[in-house]
Amino acid sequence: MTGTAGPVLYQMLFHAVLRHTDAERVHGLSAAALRGATAVPGVASVMSRLLGAREPELRVRALGREFAGPLGMAAGFDKNARLVDGLAALGFGHVEIGTVTGRPQPGNPRPRLFRLTADRAIVNRMGFNNEGSAVVAERLRARGRRRRSGPPVVVGANIGKTKAVPEEQAVEDYVASARRLADVADYVAVNVSSPNTPGLRDLQAVHHLRPLLTAVRAALDEAGRPDLPLLVKIAPDLADTDVDAVADLALELGLHGIIATNTTIAREGLVTPPEEVAAAGAGGLSGAPLKARALEVLTRLRARVGDRLVLVAVGGIETPEDAWERIRAGATLVQGYTGLVYGGPLWPRRMHRGIARLARAAGYASVTDAVGSAVAEDRAAS
């Protein structure tokens, strides 16, 4: 099933059944199946041996951690840290849980997750539905206590603002989550770029972002984790000058990296009929239509920061060639979400095999070498 049969069967299932079923319901059923399978002793290890990133070219050293492969699961898929081991067993080298908020919240009313199949895209207005950072932190802590074997995986914690918290108290809300998650995360990502929490994207403005990131960094330090990597996740809808400003701020504050990009509020260039797009309504668009702008933002960031920050590329990554293009543009790590929805459970393995093949064909011993080469080429060109 790791050859062509698996993808073909999944595509048949997707087009015959899944695309006609409420997207959030399918997500819930898929998550339950993954949790159930990996709860059986030994299953996660077997899955990892079959599907995990094993090629030596895929090893990445970044953020003070060892990643089995560059492809990770983007935030939004595993909001409550229930699927970490299952996603690792599918072959993801890292899992970014969340977005987690200081207080639990139900998110926006349903329906709030929609597929635009013709565009291989998703519209979501989930609204940071999650159980709150205290519950999620304890779940990760319990996972650490009971875990004895299974696939290795780097776990990032993506934190955001509780909707009910006034904007003037946003910093305190982020800080509460940072403190709770400091001892259970391999890195923390500050999400100021979701379009589904009113006012959140305003925090990307440097005069708001500086005190927020400074406070979160101080909270992690006070929690005894001065070495814990801190990243910020930005929107593709930022103007180029604002992308530059965030890059400069990240360097000024000594952040470890930037995640580029979140979903977009744009709807231009879609092939889905306008009435279907309108029916999906407001929310963040992810998937193939985001590819070009996400790459533009990544390229601009790399030109601005060189090798001083880790850049994590996300948005419209569907194929190994997409991932390789981001790596050659200077991304140390890549992430997917919509690619898994349309590609099926064997997608991470196909992606990593393809990335390894492309690295070998280009003469690189590792993904890390390819990133270093890209940065060096940019420096020489400038």
Gyration radius of the chain over CA positions: 19
pLDDT tens track, the chain, 382 positions: 445 666 777 788 877 887 889 999 999 999 999 999 999 999 999 999 999 998 999 999 999 999 999 999 999 999 999 999 999 999 999 999 999 999 999 999 999 999 999 999 999 999 999 999 999 999 999 999 876 556 789 999 999 999 999 999 999 999 999 999 999 999 999 999 999 898 899 999 999 999 999 999 999 999 999 999 999 999 999 999 999 999 999 999 999 999 999 999 999 999 999 999 999 999 999 999 999 999 999 999 999 999 999 999 999 999 999 999 999 999 999 999 999 999 999 999 999 999 999 999 999 999 989 988 877 787 777 6
User: Is position 194 annotated as part of the catalytic site?
Assistant: yes
Annotation-wise, does 215 bind a ligand?
Answer: no
Residue 114 known to bind ligand: no
Strand order in the sheet with 113-116: 113-116, 121-124, 284-287
pLDDT in tens, 234-275: 999 999 999 999 999 999 999 999 999 999 999 999 999 999
Contact criterion met (CB below 8 Å) for 186 and 154? yes
- What is the helix (H) or strand (E) element at residue 66, kind and residue range? strand 65-67
Amino acid 240: pLDDT: 97
Q: pTM of the prediction?
A: 0.95
Q: How far is it, in rounded angstroms, from Cα 342 to Cα 121?
A: 9
- Catalytic residue chosen out of the listed positions 193, 194, 286, 366: 194
What is the distance, to the nearest Å, from the Cα of residue 213 to the centroid of all Cα atoms in its chain? 19
Q: Are 370 and 72 in contact (CB under 8 A)?
A: no
Q: Is 128 annotated as a binding-site member?
A: yes
CB atoms closer than 10 angstroms to residue 349 = 22
Residue 78 known to bind ligand = yes
Residue ranges of the alpha helices (H) in the chain?
5-16, 23-39, 43-51, 84-90, 133-146, 170-181, 206-222, 240-253, 274-280, 291-305, 320-328, 338-343, 347-361, 367-381
Residue type, 366: S
Every domain of the chain and the residues it spans: 14-381
Residue 191, annotated as binding a ligand: yes
Does the annotation flag 342 for ligand binding? no
Q: Please tell me the distance from the alpha carbon of residue 114 to that of residue 116, in angstroms, as a whole number.
A: 7
Q: How far apart are alpha carbons 154 and 84 in whole angstroms?
A: 9
Question: Which homologous superfamily is 14-381 in?
Answer: Aldolase class I (3.20.20.70)
Residues written for the chain: 382
